[in-house]
Structure formats: C-alpha cells, structure tokens
Amino acid sequence: MDPIRVVITGAAGQIAYSLLHSVAKGDVFGKDQPVELMLLDIEPMMTVLGGVVMEVMDCSLPLVRNVVPTADPMVAFKDADVAMLVGAMPRREGMERKDLLKANVKIFKAQGQAMDDVAKKTIKVVVVGNPANTNAFICAKYAPSIPKENFSALTRLDQNRAQAQVANKLGIPCNDVNNCIIWGNHSSTQFPDVSYATVKVAGKELEANSAIKDDHWVRNDFISTVQKRGACVIAARKLSSAMSAANAIVDHVRDWWQGSGDRMVSMAVWSNDNKYGIASELMYSFPVKTAAKGKIEIVNGLKIEEWQRERMDLTCKELVEERDAALAECEE
Ligand SMILES: NC(=O)C1=CN([C@@H]2O[C@H](COP(=O)(O)OP(=O)(O)OC[C@H]3O[C@@H](n4cnc5c(N)ncnc54)[C@H](O)[C@@H]3O)[C@@H](O)[C@H]2O)C=CC1
Ligand SMILES: O=C(O)CCC(=O)C(=O)O
C-alpha cells in the first residue's frame, strides 16, 4: 500500500509526544497503512524536534516510511492527506480557552493558506490547538479551495470525559457507554448530553437516563464536571491535558478514517448541514457518523427538549462571538 502523508503540528510539544507513537504504529490509519510523518514546529524548537525524530526512528516501526521535521508550513503541508493541527499556545491556570484567540488564531490563518496552496484537496484536518472550534473555522476560511466538510475540531476529549463520568457513576467499563454527545464549543459553555446515550448494565442494554436515575446529576454536576475538566487538570498538573488529548485525537481521526459504524461520536464540524437551528458558518460540535474515509454526516432529527435548547443556544452564542473576534483579528 502507498504511504499516506500525515502532518502533525506542534510536533515538539507535549501532546505530540504522546500522539506520535500511536500514529506511527498504526492505531489511527490501520496496521497495514504506511505513513510519512511531516512534523511541523517553529524554528526555535528544531533542536528539540530533532530529538523527537530520533526517538521515532528508534521505535523501529515498520509503517513509518519517512519522517520530515520542518519549520516551513509549505513543506509540511505539501500533498498532505491528513493534518492534526496541535501546535498553538496552551492556556495557563485562570485563563479561559478563548483568551488564547489573539495569540493563536493567526497560526491557523497561515496554515489554512498553506494548505490551500499545497495540500491535497481531499485533506482531512482536525484542529486541536485552542480555541479549537474557532481556529478550525479560520483555517477552513483561509483554505477556500478545500471543502469545508474536510475540516473539524476536537471535542472527542470532552466526549471521552463524559463517557468516563457515566461509567464511573454506574460502576461499568467505559466501553459499555455509547452515544454521549458534546454540543457546541470546546469551552466551559459546551453541553455534554446523555439524553440519547445507552449503557450496558449486567448484560442489559438500557437508556443511560433510566440506568442513572438521577436527573439532577445529569443536568448539573455531570455537565459542570465535563465542562471544567481541562481546567482541573491544569490546576493539578500546572500543564494542560496531553495524554488524554492525544488519545482523543487518535479516536477522532481513526473514526474518520476507518468509519464510526453505528455509534454516534462528537466532532466540531461546519454547521451548515444541521437541522437543529444552530447558526450556519460555525464549527459547532454535533453528534456525527462517518463512513470510512468518507464525509462526516451530522446526525439530525434527535428530539430536543427546552432545557437542552437553552444550553445548545448558549454555546452557539459564544461561538458566534469568538468567530467574529477571530475574523476581526485576522483582518488586522
Ligand atoms: N481541543 C482539545 O481537546 C485540546 C486542545 N489542547 C490545545 O492544544 C494545544 C497544544 O497543547 P500542548 O501540546 O500541550 O502545548 P505545548 O506548548 O507543549 O506544545 C505546543 C507546540 O506547538 C508549537 N507551535 C507554536 N506555534 C506553532 C506554529 N505556528 N506552527 C507549528 N507549531 C507551533 C510550539 O513550539 C510547541 O512545540 C494548546 O493550544 C492546547 O490548549 C490541549 C488539550 C486538549
Ligand atoms: O483546557 C485547556 O485549555 C487545555 C487543554 C484542553 O483543552 C482540555 O484539557 O480540554
């Protein structure tokens, strides 16, 4: 099989350090798919990145056909099939993710422009660097020759956090929880929702709500725990999540490349195809299904109650504000 060209930005940073091994050994694209790794970081990090390249080589992994460290986006994105856009400044304690907008959004403008010039038009892009949804919007906007459907932002970490909270509440393994949804922004306004989730308890498939039997928890503590999880990790580690973020990137891109099957998963995607009344031209997280190497389809038609509507609209409002601020920043 021919190798695919996979770009990882922020390649000298902490998330990439956890991510590279999984990508290189076939956890994302399959155990028979060779990869060329295009590792982008900024010029001052080239020595560190050189060390990362040595380590990738020293893993002696058969699927790795080439590793290219570079500080030049035009080199990194040339003919790229997939891009995992991690490189950006992380927030520190006390900041909201949108406080990073000014520092980070122009990175994604420049990378969108580079992709527009040199990447394959079929490239699949996941944006991780925060504020992830809005950075993905900017990246897509500045790559007009690439379909908007090829861009996404990571909310899988939030989905995994939600699944883990439900599993913990019921005392069951995480893989017995399915279809938890993250609506909206990867921020403290996000809406983690178990209304359509199913769980397996004592061998029986049940609706999550009937198994949990605690509406107050589902509408309050559960939501705020997931919303604030990133901040709690920062408070404890003095660094933002990295292992769990890398794990979520693997889940997101694997499901996009290999298909999600019958499961709904959450991805922030171009909002224009939604039937939930969410404004167009946003990167909003929805329940989606994916066919292998195919288009991401929003799962439309789920019944929405009033209390859900309010939360979905609140996070939408924040995304509209972020988008407008980002556009103003990019036009300066
Ligand atoms: N969406 C999500 O679920 C999550 C998002 N994040 C975000 O991911 C980003 C990266 O986090 P970490 O790896 O922990 O940060 P880090 O600081 O360890 O690494 C970031 C790397 O990006 C590089 N970088 C900066 N500007 C760049 C550019 N223009 N091109 C290429 N590389 C560039 C830096 O030199 C550094 O090596 C942060 O913005 C963080 O907030 C983190 C966890 C979860
Ligand atoms: O919380 C942050 O700002 C950094 C990491 C992150 O986005 C997360 O852990 O969800």
CATH number at residue 97: 3.40.50.720
50 and 170 fall within a common domain: no
Protein residue whose Cα sits closest to atom 7 of ligand 2:
230
Ligand 2 center–CA 190 separation, angstroms: 12
**Residue that finishes a domain, picked among 121, 153, 185:** 153
Which residue type does 290 have? T
Ligand 1 center–CA 68 separation, angstroms: 19
81 and 206 fall within a common domain: no
Cβ–ligand 1 distance for 159 under 6 Å, the answer no
Asked if residue 328 is part of any domain, the answer here is no
What is the per-residue pLDDT for 293? 81
The CA-based dihedral angle spanning residues 109, 113, 115, 118, taken in that order and rounded to the nearest 10 degrees: -160
Lowest mean pLDDT among 46-55, 70-79, 91-100: 91-100
Ligand 2 atom having least distance to the Cα of 100: 3
Asked if residue 330 is part of any domain, the answer here is no
Q: Calculate helix-pair angle for 46-58, 14-24, nearest 10 degrees.
A: 30
Residue 93 scores a pLDDT above 80: no
Ligand 1 center–CA 129 separation, angstroms: 5
Asked if residue 329 is part of any domain, the answer here is no
Number of domains within the chain? 2
Ligand 2 center–CA 241 separation, angstroms: 6
Ligand 1 atom having least distance to the Cα of 44: 35
CB 21 within 8 A of CB 8: no
State the ligand closest to the CA atom of 231.
2
Protein residue whose Cα sits closest to atom 4 of ligand 2:
240
145 and 211 fall within a common domain: no
pTM, two decimals, is: 0.97
Protein residue whose Cα sits closest to atom 24 of ligand 1:
87
115 and 129 fall within a common domain: yes
pLDDT per position as a tens digit, 186-235: 999 999 999 999 999 999 999 999 999 999 999 999 999 999 999 999 99
Q: Which residues are catalytic?
A: 186
Asked if residue 160 is part of any domain, the answer here is yes
Which residue type does 197 have? A
CA distance 133 to 283: 5
**Residue that finishes a domain, picked among 112, 137, 153:** 153
Q: What is the domain range of residue 91?
A: 4-153
ipTM of the complex: 0.98
Task: Give the length of the chain.
Answer: 332
141 and 164 fall within a common domain: no
Ligand 1 atom having least distance to the Cα of 128: 1
pLDDT per position as a tens digit, 278-302: 999 999 999 999 998 888 999 999 9
Cβ–ligand 2 distance for 98 under 6 Å, the answer no
State the ligand closest to the CA atom of 157.
1
